[in-house]
Amino acid sequence: MNKPLMAKATAVWLVDNTTLSFKQIADFCGMHELEVQGIADGDVAAGVKGFDPVASNQLDAGEIEKGQKNPLYRLKLKHNPAAEGEEKRRGPRYTPLSKRQDRPNAILWLVKFHPELADAQIAKLVGTTKPTIASIRERTHWNIQNMQPIDPVALGLCRQSELDAAVQKAAKKKAAEGGAMTDDERRKLLSTETSLAMSDEPRLPSSIAGLENFSLSKDEDKPQAEDLDADSFFNLPEADDDEDEDN
C-alpha cells in the first residue's frame, strides 16, 4: 500500500480536522494505531504542522465523509505519481529520539567486536553518519571517555538477523579480496591449546632464521678472521743483520 506524501503530517491534519477513527487514519497513512493515538494525545509529532491531503489532491473530501459515517470504511488514496516509491526511499535508518543517545555506545561495540564491518554497514544498522563512526574509530569523539560498548541488538537499534547478515557479508567480502589475517584472527582459527602455546614474541622470517648471530667484518662482504693468539703479537720476526750494522 502506498502512503500519502508527508504521512505523519497528514495524520496530524486528519486527527485535528476529522472524526475518523485512529484505525482509519493509521491504515491510510501507513502507521500504527497507537502512534496515531499518540498524535492525538500530543505525545507524538509534537510541533509537526498538519498537511491537508485534500488540498494536495491525495484524498477526496467524499472519502472523508464516508469514513466518518462508517468506522469500518477504508479511505482510498488517489494515485499520486510523486508518492510512488516513497517506502523504498534509501537512507539512514530512523532512530527514535529516546534511543539516539545510545547510538554512540552501539557504534563503539560494533567497531570493537566487528572491525570487519564497513562504515556504510554500521550506518545502516544503527542509523548514523560516517563522520560519527570515524570519530569513534579514531577515539576523537567528544564523549569517548564516557562511552561504553553496548550491543545494538540489546539496545533495540537493530535486529540480530540484520547484524548477523551484515557480519557474514563483510566476512565474505574480505575473503574474496584475499585480505591478510592478523595474528588475532589467525589465533581464532586455532585450537585453544595451540593458541595459548604460541609465543607472543615476533618471529624472524624463515629466510633469515639462524643468521642473527652471523657477523661480518668491516668490509661487510667477508666473515671476520679467526681470533688471533695473544702470543703472536710478541713473537715478532728478528731484525736483519744489515739493519744492525747501519745502526
pLDDT (tens digit, 9 = 90+) per residue, 166-197?
Answer: 988 988 888 887 655 455 554 444 433 444 45
Three-class SS state of 105: helix
pLDDT at 207 over 50: no
Integer Cα distance of 91 and 6 in angstroms: 16
pLDDT (tens digit, 9 = 90+) per residue, 74-133?
Answer: 998 886 555 555 444 445 555 566 567 889 999 999 999 999 899 999 998 988 889 999
Looking at the chain, how many residues does it have?
247
Buried b / exposed e over 4-21, threshold 16 CB at 10 Å, is bebbbbbbbbbbeeeebb
Query: Could you state, in order of their start, the residue ranges of all structural domains in the chain?
Result: 7-88, 97-177
pTM: 0.39
